[in-house]
Amino acid sequence: GMVHLGPLPGSPRDSGDFTAVLRRAVEDARTLEEGGIDALMVENFFDAPFYKAGVPSVTVAAMTATVLAIRDAVAIPVGVNVLRNDACAAMSIAHVCGAAFIRCNVYVGAAITDQGIIEGAARTAILYRRELSADVAIWADVFVKHAAQLGTSTLEDAAKDAVLRGLADALIVSGAATGAATDPEMARRVKAVVPGTPVLIGSGFDVQTAPTLLAHADGAIVGTSLKREGSVAEPVDAERVRALRSAMEMTRFCSP
């Protein structure tokens, strides 16, 4: 379940009330846990427009404080994503806060994004994890949303490179944008070439799409569909969380 942080200190839409951001993040985290979510991903979603890679110190400080507060409030695993692609900041926060995993949007290859051209961070992330001796898994996007891939690499090539050369621990397959539907065929293709690696759906996962998508994936990262009215800016809706958890359990129960 996604904990979309409000605008953090120093970001373009910062309101100056970090206490309110912190309070909302903890409330959303608790609601997600109570509804049956297995883990949380904390992300500086409302800091847009984002830095391409290296975020400022104040962002790292604010996210560290938030992740620690969430860790104290819930018992389920927590992950970190520092947008747009600061894998070292995410790894630092996760290591210090005892988080279980990070997400890296552009892990191998390169992509044209609204921040410009972003190059893969696999080597940097892996070496930094080793330097810190961090017990933190790396979840890597394949053909990440809000981006167009550079070059002629296929989806399958990118998936294999992320795992076999980039050493990613799990892969994420998404639609074109936040909340957009993920093509089940893309998930199937990725899973087929890295069968021993967990594959997660990164967008467009809800009560209706869960049965089809879970036929080809091991789980999902869910944000927009769990918010009130299905609006990403709204708080997490406990009823929506419970409904999705039930749909997933039913899918699992009915699977051969």
Name the phi and psi angles at 78, rounded to 5: -125, 140
Q: Over pLDDT 70: what percentage of the chain?
A: 98
Confidence of residue 256 (pLDDT cuts 50, 70, 90): very low
Q: What digits encode the pLDDT tens for the residues 24-59?
A: 999 999 999 999 999 999 999 999 999 999 999 999
Cross-strand bridge partners of residue 199: 171
Do the beta carbons of residue 162 and residue 126 sit within 8 Å? no
Predicted pLDDT of residue 250: 81
**Average pLDDT estimate for 105-123:** 97
Whether residue 189 has pLDDT greater than 90: yes
ω into 23 cis (within 30 of 0):
no
Q: Residue 62: how many CA atoms within 13 Å on its side-chain side?
A: 26
Q: Whole-angstrom Cα distance, residue 253 to residue 105?
A: 32
- CA distance readout (Å), 85 to 19, 30, 48, 75: 25, 27, 13, 27
Token look-up 């918010």 returns 227
Predicted pLDDT of residue 252: 64
pTM (2 d.p.): 0.95
* Distant-in-sequence, close-in-space partners of 117: CB < 8 Å, separation ≥ 6: 110, 111, 150
**Average pLDDT estimate for 139-166:** 96
